[in-house]
Structure 1
C-alpha cells in the first residue's frame, strides 16, 4: 500500500490529537517500522489496520468511524493535490463513474506498482447508482467515507447503504440514492 495513505492518516491523527499523542499511540501500536512512513514507500495494509486500531483504542471511536473520517480526509487531500481529477465533474455520480476508467489509469501511470481497488458502477436511475468496490484490502468503510465526502463536495445528499458481495472477499456493493 502506498505510503502517502499512511502519511495522510498520521496527519489526520496529528490534526485531531496533536503530535505528542500521535507519537505515544504509534509507539504502542507495535509497528514494523516504528511508525516512520514516507509518501514514496510501500507498506502492508496490516500496518494501516494496526494504526487505525491504535487510534480507536486511544480515542474510543470505532474503527468504522475512523475509517470513514479518513475517507473524508483523503477526499480533501485528492481535491487539493490532484484537482485535474475533478475537472468537468459536476456531481457525485459523474466522479464515481470514472474512478476506474480515468483516475486509476492516471494513478497507475504515476505508481505502476500500486495495487488499486476496482470500482464498478451501474447507473440504475438518474438519482440511483450501484457501485461495487473490490480490493485485496479490507477498507470498505474508508470507501464509504470517500463516497460521503464526494457527496459533500458536490453539495448533494444521499442514502448510502452497503453490503458485502456474497462469495467475494473484500467486495462491497454500495447502493447510493440521492435525496
Structure 2
C-alpha cells in the first residue's frame, strides 16, 4: 500500500527509520507483532505528515481490496455489504483461524441489525479500530452501498472498543 500510494522510496525510508525487529521482511504465512505495524505507521505518518488514524483507515480500505482479490470465495453468493459484514465473526474469522491458528483477531458483535441500520461493535486488545473502519468502508465501496458510517468510542484501559453505526441511505 505504501509503495502504491506514496512510493517505493517512502516505503524503504519508513522501514529503515522504524528499525523493526523483522527488518521489514514479511511473508504471507507469518505472524508479526502489532508493535511493528504501529512503529511503521508512526514513521509513515512522520514522513508523509498524514495523521496515523487516516493512514490506518486507508490501510483497511486497501486490505479489503486485497481480500477480494486473494479470497474471492468469501464473496461468492454474498449480495450486499450487510450480508458480508454479518459473516465476519462466524465465517471469515473461522477461515482465517484455519490458516493462522495463532492469529489474535478482533471480535465483532452485531447487537442491532436491520435492512437499513447495522451496528457492529469492534473489540480488540490492539488499537486498530481505524483499520476496522477502513475495512468497513472498503466493504461498502466494494458492494456499491450508499451508506453513512459513524463511530463511537467505547474503549477502556487495555481494550479497544468502538461502535460502528452503518446506515443505508435511500
TM-score, normalization by structure 2: 0.92
Instruction: Give the corresponding residue for 1:174.
Output: 164
The count of aligned residue pairs is 168
Instruction: Give the corresponding residue for 1:96.
Output: 85
Q: CA deviation at 1:123?
A: 3.8
**What is the DSSP-based 3-state SS (H/G/I as helix, E as strand, rest coil) of the residue aligned with 1:152?**
helix
Q: CA deviation at 1:56?
A: 0.8
Match of 1:117 among 97, 100, 106: 106
Q: Which runs of 5+ in 2 are unaligned?
A: none
CA distance in 1, matches of 2:27, 2:80: 33
**Per-residue Cα deviation, 1:23-56 (whole angstroms, up to 9, x for no partner):** 1221111212221222222211011011111111
Q: CA deviation at 1:135?
A: 1.3
Instruction: Give the aligned CA root-mean-square deviation in angstroms.
Output: 1.4
Instruction: Give the corresponding residue for 2:37.
Output: 48
TM-score, normalization by structure 1: 0.88
Q: Which runs of 5+ in 1 are unaligned?
A: 1-11
